[in-house]
Structure 1
C-alpha cells in the first residue's frame, strides 16, 4: 500500500509552529513600531521584512518536506553545504558588517545574511549524518569509534576538525552566544550517537567546570583586563553586567538592569500589548536579544508562561519524534533539532534573567530576525519530514505506528 506523505503531516508540530510564528510577527510590530514612528520610518517596516522571511520559510518547509531523506543523509551533500556556510562565515569575519562590536553579517541590499545562524542547524544535520553511518562501530567500540582510536584527527574529513574550525570562526567574530550553542549542540549530538552515557556525563562535567573556572578567573583578574584582549572588549561588558548590572547603569549594566525593570513592570498580567515602557529607548535590543523581557512586561508572567509553555510543547513533540524514530539518522536529526530549540531558549532566557552572561542570542520565533526564523523553520521541516517518512515506512510494511 503506497501512502502519500501529505496525509502524514504532524499537526501537533505544525500548528504550534504557526502560532509561535504569528505571535512573533505581532511581537516584532509591538517592539519596533514606536521607535520607527519616532525616527520617521515606516511602523510596519520591520514586521513586513519578517513577514517576507516567514513566507520564504513556509516555501522552504514545503520543499524540504517533499525531499527524500536518503538525499539528506548523503554526507557529500551535507559536507558541501557545511563548507559553504563556513566559507560564508569567514567572509563575514573579514568583510562583513560590524554590529554591537561583532562581525558576522553579510549585507545584501536591504537584507542581511548571518551565516552563524545557519551553521547551527547544518551542524546538527552534519553530525547526524556522520554518526548514523558509524552505528555498527559505535556498538562495538563505544566512543573510540567516533575518534578512530586517535586523540588527534588524522584527516580534514574528521568531524572533530569540522566542529573545531566552525567554533573557531564563530568565536573569532566574536559571537559568544552561537559559539556556546554550537558547543552544547556538539555535546548533545555526540551523546545521541549511541556511545555510553558516561562520556556524556564526563563531557558535560568538563564544560561546566571549565565555564565556572573561566567566570571565576575573570572575576579575580577583573573585567578590565579581559577588555584589553583584542576582539573581546564588548564581551567583557557582558561579563561586567553579569557580575553586577547595577554597578554601571549607564554602560555595561544598562541592558540587564532594564531587562529586570521590564520584567518587574509586567507583574502577573502585564501592561497590555503595545504598552511596554522599556522598549521606548530604555532597553536596547528590545526587539531581538531581550524581546522576552518585553513580552513579560506587556503580557505579564501569565501570558509569557503560556507562550513558553507552547514552545516547550513544540520541543517535546519534536523530541518524541526523535525518540520514536527507528532509523538512527532520523532519530539523531529530530532529537538534535529539539536540542537546538531547547538550548537556544535556555541561553536566551538565562541571559535576560542574569543566570548566565548575556550572549546576544535571539528568542526562538519571537525575536526580530529573518535569518533566525528561516533557520528554525528549516529545522521544523526536517522534523516533519522525518516524522512522515517514519510513519509512511511503518504503514507500508504493516508495522504499528508509534
Structure 2
C-alpha cells in the first residue's frame, strides 16, 4: 500500500486536478454572484443560500474525487462491480418513476429526494454508468473474442441496457441527457478498437432501437412536440416573438451577453440576474459570467473545460490499455457534449435542453458525479504514466 501511494504521488496528474479545482472554485464565486436575488426573493433565505449549499456539494464532491482517484480503474471491469453499478441504476430509475418530482416546475420528472442529501438526478448517474459499463463490457469481450470480428449481436446485453437507460431518461423527459448519452456511447465504442464498418453496424442497431423508443414515446406520451418542447423549438427559431413566454430565457440571455460587452460590467454588477433571467445560477450561469466578466470570464471557462477535454482524449490516444482508452474517451466526450449543449442553448445556437455547465453551474448531483469522473480520469492518467515509464526503461 505504501509503495502504491508513493507511486501514485509521483505520477499524480496535477494539471488536471488543479484545472478542475480552479473551475469549481470559479463556479462557486459565480454561483454566489448570480443567485443572490433568487435566494432572497424566491427562497426567502440569506443571500449566500445557494453558495453555502454548493460549498457542501463541493465538499462531498472532493471526497468522491479522492475515493475515485485512488481506486484502480481496472476493477471496473470486474463482474461484481458491474452488477453493483447496474443495481444502483435500477434502484434510482425505479425511484424516480415512483416518487420523482420536477414535472410540475420544469416539465421533467428527473429528481428524487434522498433523505439527508437533498435532490438527486438519476440521469447524471446514468452518464457515468454508461461510460464504465460500456468500457467494461467491450473490454471483457475483447479479452474473450477478437474485436475486429465483433458483431453487434455478440454484445446484446450492453446494447439492451443502453436502450433501457436512454428510454428511461427520455421518459423523464430529459432530452439533453439523451443526447449526451448517445454521444458518450459513440465515443466509448469508437475508442474500443472495433473496425469502422463494425462501428456503423453497431450504431445502425442502436439507431433502429432509438427509432422504436421515439415511437413508444409518441404512443404513450402523446405528441412529442407538445408543451415545453414545442415552445422551446418555436422560441429557438425566433425567440423575440415569444419574449413573454418560452423565449423569455433566451432573450434575457442575449441581453446579458450584449450588456456585458468585451470587458463586462464587473463582478456582481449583472442586471439580468435581478429577476429577469430565471435560475441564473444553473443553466444560464454562463450568460451572467459573460455579462459581469466579459471575454475574460469566457476564456476562463472555455480554457478550463477545453483543457479537461484535451487531457481526456490525450490520455485515450496515448494509452495501450483498451479499458483505459474507452474510459478516458467516454469522460472527455461527456464534458465536451455537455459543455456544447449548455453553451449552445445559452447563445441560441441550439434549442434549450436544461443542461448544466460542467463544474460551473449550481447543482449537487452534477458536481459530485463529475468529480467522481475526474477522479477516475486522474487514476487512468496515473497508470498510463507508469506504463509509459516502464516501457521506456
Q: Deviations over 1:344-392 (max 9, x none)?
A: 0111111112221110000011100011001110010001111112223
CA–CA distance in structure 2, aligned partners of residues 229 and 269 of structure 1: 45
1:177 paired residue number: 176
CA contact (8 A) 1:187 1:203 kept: no
Among 117, 139, 149, the alignment partner of 1:141 is 149
Q: Deviations over 1:40-75 (max 9, x none)?
A: 411111111111111111111211222223322213
Among 76, 82, 85, the alignment partner of 1:78 is 82
2:123 aligned with 1:112: no
Q: Deviations over 1:167-202 (max 9, x none)?
A: 111000111111111111111112112122356578
Secondary structure at the counterpart of residue 162 of structure 1: helix
CA–CA distance in structure 2, aligned partners of residues 133 and 141 of structure 1: 14
2:213 paired residue number: none
Among 36, 39, 55, the alignment partner of 2:39 is 36
Among 355, 361, 364, the alignment partner of 2:358 is 364
CA–CA distance in structure 1, aligned partners of residues 198 and 257 of structure 2: 39
Higher relative helix content? 2
CA–CA distance in structure 2, aligned partners of residues 229 and 18 of structure 1: 43
With over 3 angstroms needed to count, the CA separation of the structure-2 counterparts of 1:207 and 1:328, relative to structure 1, is: closer
1:248 paired residue number: 242
1:223 paired residue number: none
TM-align CA RMSD: 2.6
Among 321, 325, 338, the alignment partner of 2:315 is 321
Superposed, which structure 2 residues align to 1:3-402 within 5 Å? 4-39=7-42, 40-98=44-102, 99-108=105-114, 111-135=118-142, 137-142=145-150, 144=151, 146-148=152-154, 153=156, 158-198=157-197, 229=223, 232-395=226-389, 398-400=390-392
Secondary structure at the counterpart of residue 229 of structure 1: coil
CA contact (8 A) 2:169 2:178 kept: yes
- TM-score, normalization by structure 1: 0.86
CA–CA distance in structure 2, aligned partners of residues 202 and 159 of structure 1: 15
With over 3 angstroms needed to count, the CA separation of the structure-2 counterparts of 1:245 and 1:41, relative to structure 1, is: same
Secondary structure at the counterpart of residue 109 of structure 2: strand
CA contact (8 A) 2:335 2:358 kept: yes
Q: Name stretches of at least 5 consecutive residues in structure 2 with no aligned partner.
A: 211-220
CA contact (8 A) 1:12 1:317 kept: no
With over 3 angstroms needed to count, the CA separation of the structure-2 counterparts of 1:135 and 1:261, relative to structure 1, is: same
With over 3 angstroms needed to count, the CA separation of the structure-2 counterparts of 1:171 and 1:384, relative to structure 1, is: same
CA–CA distance in structure 1, aligned partners of residues 22 and 300 of structure 2: 12
The alpha-carbon deviation at position 254 of structure 1 amounts to: 0.8
Secondary structure at the counterpart of residue 92 of structure 1: helix
Secondary structure at the counterpart of residue 361 of structure 1: coil
CA–CA distance in structure 2, aligned partners of residues 262 and 371 of structure 1: 27
CA–CA distance in structure 1, aligned partners of residues 268 and 319 of structure 2: 42
With over 3 angstroms needed to count, the CA separation of the structure-2 counterparts of 1:318 and 1:140, relative to structure 1, is: closer
The alpha-carbon deviation at position 14 of structure 1 amounts to: 0.5
2:215 paired residue number: none
CA–CA distance in structure 1, aligned partners of residues 356 and 21 of structure 2: 18
The alpha-carbon deviation at position 230 of structure 1 amounts to: 7.4
The alpha-carbon deviation at position 24 of structure 1 amounts to: 1.0
Q: Name stretches of at least 5 consecutive residues in structure 1 with no aligned partner.
A: 212-226
CA–CA distance in structure 2, aligned partners of residues 82 and 292 of structure 1: 34
With over 3 angstroms needed to count, the CA separation of the structure-2 counterparts of 1:138 and 1:239, relative to structure 1, is: farther
CA contact (8 A) 1:24 1:365 kept: yes
Moved more, 243-252 or 36-45: 36-45
